[in-house]
C-alpha cells in the first residue's frame, strides 16, 4: 500500500492510498472546521450545514443526490465534530468519478433552498429532542459544557432549538464561505484508486471552491479548561457518571502517553477499572476510561453506569485507582496496551473507509501522513516513570470535572471528590480498602 499526496495550485490537498486487492474505494472531503468555528449566534450551524449539503444543488435535487449514488450501489454520508466536518462516499472503483462529482457538487453548488431548510430544521429539532431523552448523551454534553464552560469547545454540536430555528440560508452561506476554503480542505481516497487519475478528477470538479485560508471566527480562542460540577436528578434505573480532568492536545509530548494511560485504566476487560470495579466488586455494569485530544487541549475521563445505591462505594474506588496509577504501573500493562493500539491500527487499515479517515485526520493535525513505524516508535518511548508522572499531574494538580444524571442523591459532592484526590484523601482511601 502506497500513500501519495498532491497539493493543487488552488491550495487543496489530495491524498490517496492504493489498496490494489480491493474492488471498492472510500473517498471523502474533510474540512478543518467544526462546531468550534461558530460565532456566538451560530450555535449548531456547522451541523445544519452538513445536513443541508444533501438537500439539493443547482444540478441535482435532494432525491437525485440519494438516487444517483444508490443506483450504483454506493453510499454517501457526512459527520460533524467539534473541529472537523467530513463528507464521504464508498463506491466500486469504476464509480469514483461519479462520487467525486457528487461530493464536489454538494460542496460547491448547494442552493440551500428555504423550503428544504424548514424541513431539515424540523429533523434536527427531533434529533435534539431525542438526545435530551437519552441520559448517556446528556451526561457527556454536560461534561463538555462543564469542562470548557462558556466556550464553543464545550457546546453541543447540535445547537439549541432556539438557535437552529433562527438560522437562514444566508447565514449558512456565510459560515461556509468563511470556513470551507481550499487551505482547510483535504480530499482523501483509499482503496482501488489511481492517484493521478483521482487528482485530475478532483482538480476539475472542485475548481469552484473558495481559495485561500479560512477567516477565523471571533469566537475561536484558545481553549481554557475550567472543570466543575454538573449533576441532574432524574427518576432513572441507573446513574450515568463522568469524572474528568484536563487532558493533552494532539501535538503535546504527553498525548500518546495519555492514550496509553487511559487504556491501562479502562480500555478493555483486562483493564484496572473493569477488573476492580466491575468484576471484583460488582459496583457497576459499565466502566471505562478515555482521552480525547483537540488542537490545543484535551480531556481525560472515566465513565461509569451504576445503580444509585452503589455511588457511595463506587466513587472512592475510582479515586483509589487513580492514586494507584500515579504510584505503580506494570511493564506488562504497557506492553498489552501497545499491542491493543497496534492491533486496532492494523485492523483499521484493512478497511478503506477507516484508512481514509485516519489519513485525513493526520493531514489535518500534522500536515502529513504518519507511518505505522513512526506511531509505534512514539509508543515505544513510553515508560513506567512517564506514565506514573503523567497520572500524578493529570489527576491531582487541577480541578476535576464531574457530570452525573439519574438518582444522584448519594453521589459525593465535588468538594468531597476533590478531597479524595488529595494526599489526605489518599490515606483515607487506603484505610477504607
DSSP string, 395-421: HHSS--EEEEEES-TTSPPHHHHHHHH
| pLDDT over threshold 80, residue 243 | yes
Q: What is the pLDDT of residues 189-242, one digit of tens each?
A: 999 999 999 999 999 999 988 787 655 555 578 999 999 999 999 999 999 999
Q: Clarify whether residues 29 and 66 are in a common domain.
A: yes
Which of 173, 190, 205 corresponds to the end of one domain?
Answer: 205
pLDDT in tens, 45-89: 999 999 999 999 999 999 999 999 999 999 999 999 999 999 999
Q: Does residue 68 share a domain with residue 116?
A: yes
Residue 426 lies in a domain: yes
Per-residue burial over 320-352, b if 16 or more Cβ lie within 10 Å, else e, is bbbbbbbeebeeebbebbbebbeeeeeeebebb
Say if residue 431's pLDDT is above 80: no
What is the arithmetic mean of pLDDT over 100-127? Answer: 97
For residues 241 and 118, state if they share a domain: no
Q: Is residue 282 left, alpha or beta, with left meaning phi > 0 and alpha meaning psi from -120 to 50?
A: left
pLDDT of residue 40: 87
Return the active site residues: 50
Asked which of 171, 190, 205 is the last residue of a domain, the reply is 205
To the nearest whole number, what is the mean pLDDT of the chain? 94
The CB density around residue 199, as the number of other CB atoms within 10 Å, is 20
Task: Assess if residue 312 is contained within a domain.
Answer: yes
137-146: average pLDDT: 97
Residue 170 CA to residue 122 CA, distance in Å, equals 18
- Residue 138 in any domain: the answer is yes
Contact by Cβ (8 Å): 61, 27 = no
Adjacency order of strands within the sheet including 2-7: 2-7, 13-18, 185-191, 24-31, 85-92, 75-80
Residue 374 pLDDT greater than 70, yes or no: yes
What's the alpha-carbon Rg for the chain, to the nearest Å? 23
Q: 121: pLDDT confidence band, cut at 50, 70 and 90?
A: very high
- Gap between the Cα atoms of 42 and 164, Å rounded: 8
pLDDT at 372: 86
Shared domain for 61 and 110, answered yes or no, is: yes
* Helix (H/G/I), strand (E/B), else coil: 367: coil
At residue 433, does pLDDT exceed 70?
Answer: no
pLDDT at 142 over 70: yes
Position 223 in a domain:
no
Report whether pLDDT(155) > 90. yes
Of the chain, the percentage scoring pLDDT greater than 70 comes to 95
Nine cell digits for residue 220: 475561536
CB 223 within 8 A of CB 296: yes
Domain end call among 190, 205, 220:
205
Instruction: Specify the pLDDT at position 180.
Output: 95
Q: How far apart, in whole angstroms, are the C-alpha atoms of residue 378 and residue 369?
A: 15
Backbone dihedral region for residue 113 (phi beyond 0: left; psi -120 to 50: alpha; all else: beta): beta
In a domain, 218, yes or no: no
DSSP state for residue 275 in the 8-state scheme: I
On whether residue 276 sits in a domain, the answer given is yes
Q: Are residues 52 and 155 in the same domain?
A: yes
CATH of the domain at 321: 3.30.830.10
Position 49 scores a pLDDT of 98
Are 40 and 91 within one domain?
yes
Residue 237 located in a structural domain = yes
Query: Quick one: 154 and 290 in the same domain?
Result: no
**369 & 412 share domain:** yes
Residue 328 lies inside a defined structural domain of this protein: yes
My answer on whether 139 and 276 are in the same domain is: no
pLDDT band at 18 (very low <50, low <70, confident <90, very high): very high
φ, ψ dihedrals at 61, nearest 5°: -80, 170
The alpha helices in 111-254, defined as continuous H runs, are 114-132, 135-147, 161-166, 169-179, 195-205
Q: Is residue 372 located within the same domain as residue 425? A: yes
pLDDT at 339 over 60: yes
The one-character DSSP state at 181 is B
Place of cell 450515568: 240
Report the C-alpha gap between 54 and 110 in whole angstroms: 8
- 134: number of Cβ within 10 Å: 13
Number of compact structural domains in the chain? 2
The pLDDT of residue 208 is 86
CA distance 367 to 251: 12
pLDDT, residue 424, reads 52
pLDDT at 98 (0 to 100): 98
The arithmetic mean of pLDDT across residues 285-306, rounded, is 97
**326, pLDDT greater than 80:** yes
User: Same domain, yes or no, for 122 and 79?
Assistant: yes
In contact, 60 and 105? CB cutoff 8 Å: yes
d(CA 224, CA 247): 11
pLDDT at position 2: 83
Distance CA 299, CA 153 (A): 11
Mean pLDDT of 32-38: 95
Residue 213: its pLDDT value, please? 64
- Neighbour tally for 135: CB within 10 Å: 19
State whether 199 and 347 are in the same domain.
no
Confidence of residue 423 (pLDDT cuts 50, 70, 90): low
Residue 195: give the domain boundaries: 2-205
186's enclosing H/E stretch is strand 185-191
pLDDT at position 264 is 98
Query: What is the mean pLDDT of the segment spanning 126-130?
Result: 96
Q: Does residue 428 surpass a pLDDT of 60?
A: no
> Each residue of 393-413: pLDDT tens digit?
999 999 999 999 999 999 999
Amino acid at each position: 500500500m502506497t500513500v501519495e499526496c498532491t497539493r493543487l495550485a488552488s491550495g487543496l490537498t489530495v491524498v490517496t492510498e492504493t489498496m490494489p486487492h480491493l474492488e471498492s474505494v472510500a473517498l471523502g472531503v474533510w474540512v478543518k472546521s467544526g462546531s468550534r468555528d461558530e460565532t456566538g449566534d451560530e450555535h449548531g450551524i456547522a451541523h445544519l450545514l452538513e445536513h443541508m449539503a444533501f438537500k439539493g444543488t443547482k444540478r441535482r435535487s435532494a432525491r437525485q443526490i440519494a438516487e444517483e449514488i444508490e443506483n450504483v450501489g454506493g453510499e454517501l454520508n457526512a459527520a460533524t465534530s467539534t473541529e472537523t466536518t467530513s463528507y464521504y462516499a464508498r463506491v466500486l472503483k469504476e464509480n469514483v468519478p461519479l462520487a467525486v462529482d457528487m461530493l464536489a457538487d454538494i460542496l460547491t453548488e448547494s442552493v440551500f433552498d428555504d423550503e428544504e431548510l424548514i424541513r431539515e430544521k424540523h429533523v434536527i429539532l427531533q434529533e435534539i429532542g431525542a438526545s435530551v431523552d437519552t441520559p448517556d448523551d446528556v451526561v457527556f454534553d454536560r461534561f463538555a459544557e462543564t469542562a470548557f464552560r462558556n466556550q464553543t469547545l464545550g457546546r453541543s454540536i447540535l445547537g439549541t432549538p432556539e438557535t437552529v430555528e433562527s438560522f437562514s440560508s444566508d447565514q449558512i452561506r456565510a459560515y461556509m464561505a468563511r470556513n470551507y476554503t481550499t487551505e482547510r480542505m483535504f480530499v482523501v481516497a483509499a482503496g482501488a484508486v489511481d492517484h493521478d487519475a483521482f487528482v485530475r478528477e478532483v482538480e476539475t470538479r472542485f475548481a469552484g471552491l473558495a481559495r485561500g485560508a479560512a477567516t477565523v471566527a471571533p469566537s475561536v480562542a484558545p481553549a481554557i479548561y475550567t472543570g466543575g460540577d454538573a449533576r441532574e436528578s432524574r427518576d432513572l434505573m441507573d446513574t450515568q457518571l463522568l469524572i474528568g480532568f484536563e487532558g493533552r492536545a494532539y501535538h503535546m509530548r504527553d498525548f500518546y502517553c495519555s492514550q496509553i494511560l487511559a487504556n491501562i485504566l479502562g480500555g478493555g476487560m483486562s483493564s484496572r477499572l473493569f477488573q476492580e470495579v466491575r468484576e471484583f466488586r460488582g459496583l457497576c455494569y459499565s466502566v471505562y476510561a478515555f482521552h480525547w485530544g483537540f488542537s490545543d487541549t484535551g480531556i481525560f475521563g472515566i465513565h461509569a453506569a451504576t445503580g444509585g445505591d452503589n455511588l457511595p462505594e463506587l466513587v472512592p474506588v475510582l479515586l483509589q485507582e487513580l492514586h494507584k496509577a500515579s504510584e505503580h504501573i506494570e511493564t506488562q500493562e504497557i506492553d498489552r496496551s501497545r499491542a491493543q493500539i497496534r492491533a486496532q491500527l492494523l485492523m483499521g487499515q484493512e478497511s478503506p473507509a477507516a484508512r481514509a479517515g485516519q489519513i485525513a485526520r493526520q493531514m489535518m493535525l500534522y500536515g502529513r501522513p504518519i507511518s505505522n513505524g513512526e506511531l509505534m516508535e512514539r509508543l515505544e518511548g513510553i515508560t513506567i516513570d512517564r506514565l506514573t508522572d503523567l497520572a500524578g499531574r493529570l489527576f491531582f494538580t487541577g480541578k476535576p470535572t464531574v457530570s452525573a444524571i439519574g438518582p444522584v442523591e448519594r453521589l459525593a459532592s465535588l468538594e468531597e471528590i476533590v478531597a479524595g484526590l488529595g494526599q489526605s484523601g489518599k490515606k483515607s482511601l487506603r484505610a477504607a480498602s
